[in-house]
A and B are shown apart, each in its own frame.
Chain A
Amino acid sequence: MGIRIDPESDETDALFDLVDLDGREVLEIGCADGRLTWRYADRVAHVTAIEPFADSLARARRRLAEAPDDRIELRNVAFEDFAAASDADVFDVTLLSWSLC
C-alpha cells in the first residue's frame, strides 16, 4: 500500500481555506521532499521551494524529474542564505512549512 500522508486533505483544506494561491508567486520554506508542494502547485504561477537538507531535496528532485512542472523550482539552500541573496517585495505568498521549529 505504501505510506499515505494526509489522504483526508485536512492540511490542504486548511491551506486553501486560509489563502488564495491562484496565480500567485509563492516561496515555500522547508519543502523537504515536496510532500506539500505538489498538493498546491497546480494553482500557483510559480513556486520557489527551498530546503537546506540535500537528502530531502533529492527526493523532491526525483519526483520533479519523473513529472516535470515548470511552475516548481527546487533550491537546496538555507533560508538565511536565500534571503540574503534575494530582492525585497518579490513573493505574494510565503509558506513556512513545518520549519520554524
Chain B
Amino acid sequence: MAPEGMVHALEEIHRLLRSAGTLIEIHPALEVPYVEVRSDGRGLFAEEDPGYDYEDDLRHAEAAVATIVDRGVFVLEDRRRFELRTHAASVSELRRYWDVYNAYDPEEKDEGLARRQDEMYARSGEVLERSPGAEIVYVEPAMMSRLVPAR
C-alpha cells in the first residue's frame, strides 16, 4: 500500500471507531526475520532470511502511524515488540506454508535474493536432517501498537 493510502486507511479506521475505542496496529518490526533449527530447547542453526525485501514498506507503515499521530487523529499510548514464531517439522513443510500464505502477493522476488534464500533453506535442511526430532522455526520480530482516537 502506498504511504498516503496507509494514512487514509488509518483515518477511516478513526471514523469507524467509537470515541472511547482502541486501534491495535500490528506490523513486522524493522528487523530481519530469521530461521532457526531447534531441538530440545537448543539452537542448532540460526541465520537471517536473505529473502527479506520489504524494509521500505515497513518504513512507510511506521511513517503512516507517525503522520496520523502528528495530525492529531490518534494518540500512540503504548507499544510492544514481540516475535511471531512459525514452527514446522521440515523445510518443505515450512516453505509450502509460506507459498500458500503469500500467494496473494503478485511481486516476484529478486532472483539473487531468492537464490540466497534457497541456499539458506538448504543449509538449515542439512542441519535438520542430522538432528532427529528437531524442528525449523521462522521468527518474525513484530511491533504491536495501541492507539486511541485523539478527538
Whether A associates with B in a native complex is yes
User: Once the chains bind, are B9 and A95 in contact (CB under 8 Å)?
Assistant: no
* A-side contacts of B151, CB under 8 Å: none
Given contact pairs A91-B17, A96-B25, A101 touches B6 in the complex (Cβ within 8 A): yes
Given contacts A18-B144, A94-B13, contact A100 B27 (CB under 8 A): yes
B21 lies within 8 A of A93 (CB):
yes
* Chain B CB within 8 A of A68 CB: no
Q: How many whole Å from A47's CB to the nearest CB in chain B?
A: 12
Between A and B, 19 residue pairs with Cβ closer than 8 Å are A8-B85, A10-B85, A14-B82, A15-B24, A18-B146, A29-B13, A33-B101, A83-B16, A89-B17, A91-B16, A91-B17, A93-B22, A98-B142, A100-B25, A100-B27, A100-B64, A101-B27, A101-B28, A101-B57
**A interface residues, Cβ below 8 angstroms from B:** 1-8, 10-11, 13-15, 17-19, 27, 29, 32-33, 53, 55-56, 79-80, 83, 86, 88-98, 100-101
Q: Is the CB of A96 within 8 A of B13?
A: yes
Given known A3-B93, A6-B85, A55-B104, contact A92–B64 (CB-CB < 8 A): no
- Residue contact B60 to A101, C-beta cutoff 8 Å: yes
The total of interchain contacts (Cβ-Cβ below 8 angstroms) comes to 131
**A91 and B84 contacting across the interface, CB-CB below 8 Å:** no
Q: Is the interface of A mostly helix, strand, loop or mixed?
A: mixed
The answer on a CB contact under 8 Å between A3 and B54 is no
Instruction: List the A side residues contacting B86 at CB < 8 Å.
Output: 3-6
Query: Which B residues touch A79, using CB under 8 A?
Result: 9, 12
CA distance A10 to B116 in the complex (A): 29
Instruction: Give Cα A100–Cα B97 distance, bound, in whole angstroms.
Output: 22
Q: Knowing A1-B135, A10-B82, A92-B18 are in contact, say whether A100-B9 is a contact too (CB < 8 A).
A: yes
B66 interfacial by beta-carbon distance below 8 Å: no
Is B46 located at the chain interface by the 8 A CB criterion? no
Q: Is A98's CB under 8 angstroms from B26's CB? A: yes
Q: Which of A3, A53, A86 has its CB near the most chain B CB atoms (within 10 A)?
A: A3
Contact A89 B18 (CB under 8 A): yes
